[in-house]
Amino acid sequence: MRILAPFFVLACCSLGFSEHLEADQNILIPDHWAHMGRVRPTEEIELTFALRQQNLDRLEDLLLLVSDPSSPQYGKYLTLEEVTALVRPSQLTQKVVRQWLQSNGVSNCQTVLTQDFLQCSMTAQVAEAVLPGSEFHRYVSDDHSLVRSSSLYQVDGDVLQHIDFVGGVHRFPPKGQDLNEVLTKRRSEAKFHLGVTPAALRARYNLTATDVGSAQNNSQAVAQFLEQFYHPADLAEFMAMFGQGFQHRSDVDRVVGTQGGGKAGLEASLDIEYIMSTGANISTWVFSNAGRHESQEPFLQWLLLLSNMTDIPWVHTISYGDDEDSLSAAYMTRINVEFMKVGVRGISMLFASGDSGAGCKHLAKGGNCFRPSFPASSPYVTTVGGTSFKNPFKITYEVTDSISGGGFSNIFKMPDYQVGAVEAYLKAQSALPPKTYFNTSGRAYPDLAALSDNYWVVSDRIPIPWVSGTSASTPVVGGILALINDQRFRKGLPSLGFLNPRLYQLKGRGLFDVRPSAL
């Protein structure tokens, strides 16, 4: 493949040469997926084409203006229609891409309201012709089956500048956090402790009985991508056990996507039970496993949904991430734009910072470095880390939870809103890891943290203690943001939207540094 590249440069655009869009995408098959062989040429595949958008500089400027309290445009959010008018691909781009697909016999395509994605179904044989170099195979893990290409794809030189990436070719869903593994480990460590319940959270974060939602239009959501389901009966039982002392709901208002049968997922149960405990009495949605075709990428499908719905909740919390170094820069850059499109609408996106600390990449001997995770490292989401009670028997102050993910992006440069905070932090530290381990020119995360240790969760009708991870702190923070939105709506103010510029301006007011547990 690489040998072709110089030829392409010489012959570009006249001889129909192809080139890679995502040459840096990791195509190793994750361990837990078993290879089942090449798919038949006649099998249907769905590919998602991310069309090149327009006015991205303007989008970024606008996002920062509407999110900055010191700007006269603060809170003047865009509708999805206005976002479309701004970013929609040029007529030329739409024409070139459609003609290219049609000339390959691909005609069954659907778009989204913002017109910047095309999702098309075609046979494997056609897909391999549209994307030279690709070869589609089936992989299975537990009872899930996926279709992915075992080799990198190229696209025609003429369409190269009109497409950001093609979805459904490479990326496997990241392995979910094995909460059960954590459970077993914790069980042997902690004998007795208080455990985190809605009452403990509401006490610690000073939420009184009147701190519940009451604004008509308020809403919050959690999203799941790893075949995880919540059970309405678990939520009801959880609220019956732990919902005393504050008005709350015990039902989800809307499920977007498909809820499977079978056992409830611990992760899904955790998310929904806790966002509805801090964001109490607020309408709650679940985005569940968007993308059910074997060749779709569920996370990408969820982003397509957000670009295809005019009315979506104000706060979204997501516990999902991948190593930055396993994803192509083209993919991450485009997904980052999708976050801007959401933020400029006044919607808050919260991502868990991950549960592997700074992460670790083993390079040559003596050359190890930390391993940032995406989307946690996107400058246009709010990333949530984890803490634990200093004294696990009491509602005391918090220290860092050792598992809490954090670090610096190697892809996204440090956004202006956090430069001061990060410089001050780095200067104040007496003992930092070797400088070669991390890249201080990148976006630093997390932005916020909350308790992430020893939660009680009801899953499959059983109350389970010791559930831990930043997937616990993220919905808790999401619910609190939704409560603040609620107060703002009641005063006729707009939602908080993309939080970070405002967050870092708070400095000492309302926010403080969490100390390491060892100090």
Ligand X SMILES: *[C@@H]1O[C@H](CO)[C@@H](O)[C@H](O)[C@H]1NC(C)=O
Return the ∠ at Cα 278 (arms to 474 and 399), rounded to 5°.
Answer: 55
Query: Is residue 328 within 8 Å of residue 165, measured between CB atoms?
Result: yes
Cα atoms found within 13 Å of the Cα of residue 481, Cβ hemisphere only: 34
Residue 3, Cβ density class (10 Å: 0-12 exposed, 13-18 middle, ≥19 buried):
exposed
Instruction: Give the residue from 249, 241, 246, 248 showing the smallest Cα distance to 203.
Output: 246
Q: How far is the CB of 135 from ligand X (least distance, A)?
A: 25
Return the ∠ at Cα 60 (arms to 55 and 66), rounded to 5°.
Answer: 120
Q: How far is the CB of 225 from ligand X (least distance, A)?
A: 16
Q: How far is the CB of 308 from ligand X (least distance, A)?
A: 4
Instruction: Give the residue from 198, 191, 153 showing the smallest Cα distance to 171.
Output: 153
Report which residue type is found at 248. Answer: H
Contacts 24+ apart (CB under 8 A), 205-208: 205/278, 205/450, 205/480, 207/246, 207/278, 207/480, 207/483
Q: Are strands 117-123 and 108-111 parallel, antiparallel or unpaired?
A: antiparallel
Instruction: Give the residue from 428, 407, 431 showing the smallest Cα distance to 518.
Output: 431
- Binding interface with ligand X (CB under 6 A): 110, 112, 119, 205-206, 212-214, 216-217, 219, 247, 281, 304, 308, 311, 410, 413, 439, 441-442
Catalytic residues: 267, 271, 471
Closer residue to ligand X in complex, CB, 432/462: 432
Q: Which residues contact 45 (CB under 8 A, 6 or more apart)?
A: 39, 121, 122, 123, 124, 127, 136, 147, 168, 295
The secondary structure of 397-409 as a DSSP string is -EEE-TT---EEE
Closer residue to ligand X in complex, CB, 71/396: 396
Closer residue to ligand X in complex, CB, 266/335: 335
Q: How far is the CB of 439 from ligand X (least distance, A)?
A: 4
Q: How far is the CB of 144 from ligand X (least distance, A)?
A: 21
Q: How far is the CB of 419 from ligand X (least distance, A)?
A: 12
